[in-house]
Amino acid sequence: MPDAELPTVERSPQRLTLPSQMDGPAAPQRGVHKVFIGMAAGVGKTYRALGELRERLDRGEDALIGAVETHGREGTIRAAEGLPLFPRRVMTYGGTELTELDVDGLLARRPEVVLVDELAHTNAPGSERQKRWQDVDVLLAAGINVLSTVNVQHLESLNDTVARLTGVRVRERIPDAVLHEATELVLVDLTPHDLRARLKAGHVYGPEKIDQALGNFFTSPNLTALREIALRQVASVVEQGAPPGSPGVQEIVVVAIAAEESAGRLIRRGGQLAARLHAALHVVTIRGPRITPEQSRLLDTYRALTVALGGQFEVLDGAAGVAAALIGYVQLSRATQVVMGETSRSRWAELWRGDIIKQVLSGTRNVDVHVISRD
């Protein structure tokens, strides 16, 4: 049965708590965010989240479904049966009726906890926010607890790794900070053999998609790699919960890029390194004498990517030379790690001629320089 046919709960007026005049208005305490993460579709993330929602209802909590994507899976549909479902907001785009999470309605209704499936989902054009994870952030800021789900391949910093391992470039992504700022992570684990068995039995996709899925994304090597990534990612986030003063908090990672297609991979590798070291992430590029519209577009994209990974983006003056500008920034920022790519042979190469890597190595002290292959 499609999502729209699940039972719904009527909206009710907002519950108001009036602070005393002596205390003044108090900001709501941020809600608790519990994320169910897995290696791929079909491992049972939504099923587990629905099970927890049912348990909370049984304990007397005011809990409901804000958005659930059943994808026609019978197990998920059965798990959602009888659970209160808050009506979605109906939108029309290009003559097609679409439904999205009703954030304003939920803010008025103010449940204790709401389930919001598929954090990486892209909202319909015309929505107030582009991504569902942004909607969740609004609910959390209002003090509403959220149960959510996501697959590990949707993390921004892992996009290149997943593409290299599986041959599939994931388009819908979430900033790593969404996971790092979550209150609790639940790894929903399944062996590759068991997930492929679920696929063959028709529990994940319809019959017309099974063979294609088994032969492409859901191969045993792909699933094994994704499972390892999921395990390592959750362990990494847990490690990063260490208190201030733990080893590594003074680390600073500087990623040097040029305005070319391969720079996104350098930024993500730098983001992974910064996450492991509990480090600040700085991404820098050198301002050249000329820049094409395409290069300008790429730099805008990389600025947004840097922000998504929790870093800061800087454009340096290259009048004294690329190496001098980069060395100066490394010294000024007190960087401990530098990430660079092999020298480009693109049109940007005129700014990067000479052996920049050797100059940075000889011009810096107490800095680890990571040179990333262009392959």
User: What local confidence, expressed as pLDDT, does residue 24 receive?
Assistant: 54
Nearest to 100 by CA among 4, 228, 16, 177: 4
Closest CA to 31 of 128, 121, 93, 111: 111
Q: 204, 239, 274: which is the final residue of a domain?
A: 239
One-letter amino acid of 230: A
The answer to whether residue 18 sits within a structural domain is: yes
3-state SS record for 50-80: HHHHHHHHHCCCCEEEEECCCCCCHHHHHHH
Number of structural domains, the chain? 2
With residue 240 as reference, give the H or E element that holds it. none
Are 359 and 235 members of one domain?
no
What is the span of the domain harbouring residue 337? Answer: 252-372
Q: Can you give the pLDDT at residue 374?
A: 66
Over residues 26-55, mean pLDDT: 93
Report the pLDDT averaged over residues 269-274: 90
Q: Is residue 315 part of a domain?
A: yes
Domain presence at residue 132: yes
Triad 270, 172, 312: Cα angle to 5°: 30
> 12: which 2 tokens?
């009710």
Give the pLDDT confidence of 289-304 residue by residue, as tens digits: 788 889 888 999 999 8
Asked if residue 245 belongs to a domain, the reply is no
Q: Is residue 246 part of a domain?
A: no
Q: Please indicate, yes or no, whether residues 361 and 232 belong to a single structural domain of this protein.
A: no
pTM of the model: 0.67
Highest averaged pLDDT of the listed ranges 146-155, 257-266, 359-368: 146-155
- Same domain for 16 and 43, yes or no, is yes
What is the CATH number for 95?
3.40.50.300
137 plus 200 within the same structural domain = yes
My answer on whether 25 and 96 are in the same domain is: yes
Give the residue from 351, 326, 320, 355 showing the smallest Cα distance to 338: 326
Between residues 136 and 360, which one has the greater pLDDT? 136
Domain boundary among 239, 269, 287: 239
Q: Which two tokens stand for residue 332?
A: 């000024």
Q: Predicted confidence band at 69 (pLDDT cuts at 50, 70, 90)? A: very high
Distance from C-alpha of 361 to C-alpha of 373, rounded to nearest angstrom: 17
Q: Which CATH number belongs to the domain containing residue 288 in this structure?
A: 3.40.50.620
CA distance 200 to 213: 10
- Output DSSP code: residue 197: H
346 and 295 together in one domain? yes
DSSP-H helix ranges across the chain: 45-58, 74-80, 103-109, 132-141, 159-166, 176-180, 192-200, 207-215, 220-239, 263-277, 293-308, 322-333, 356-363
Give the model confidence (pLDDT) of 42-67 as tens digits. Answer: 999 999 999 999 999 999 999 999 99
Residues 17 and 150 in one domain: yes
Q: What is the pLDDT of residues 177-193, one digit of tens each?
A: 899 899 999 999 888 99
Statement to judge: residues 67 and 203 lie in one domain: yes
For residue 296 the two structure tokens come to: 């300008």
Whether the CB-CB separation of 31 and 38 falls below 8 Å is answered with no
Task: Looking at mean pLDDT, say which of 49-63, 200-214, 274-288 comes out highest.
Answer: 49-63
The more confident residue out of 139 and 322 is 139
If asked whether residues 114 and 184 sit together in one domain, one would say yes
The reply to whether 244 falls in a domain is no
pLDDT at 248 over 50: no
What mean pLDDT, rounded, does the chain reach? 85
- 115 with 26, same domain: the answer is yes
* pLDDT band per the 50, 70, 90 thresholds, residue 229: confident
Task: Give domain status of residue 260, yes or no.
Answer: yes
- Of 216, 239, 262, the last residue of a domain is 239
Residue whose structure tokens are 């050198």: 286
Instruction: Say yes or no: 115 and 150 in one domain.
Output: yes
Q: How confident is the model at residue 28 (pLDDT cuts 50, 70, 90)?
A: confident
Element (H, E) at 100: strand 96-100
In a domain, 247, yes or no: no
Contact 342, 358 (CB under 8 A): no
Asked if residue 13 and residue 39 are part of one domain, the reply reads yes
Q: Which pLDDT value is given to residue 344?
A: 52
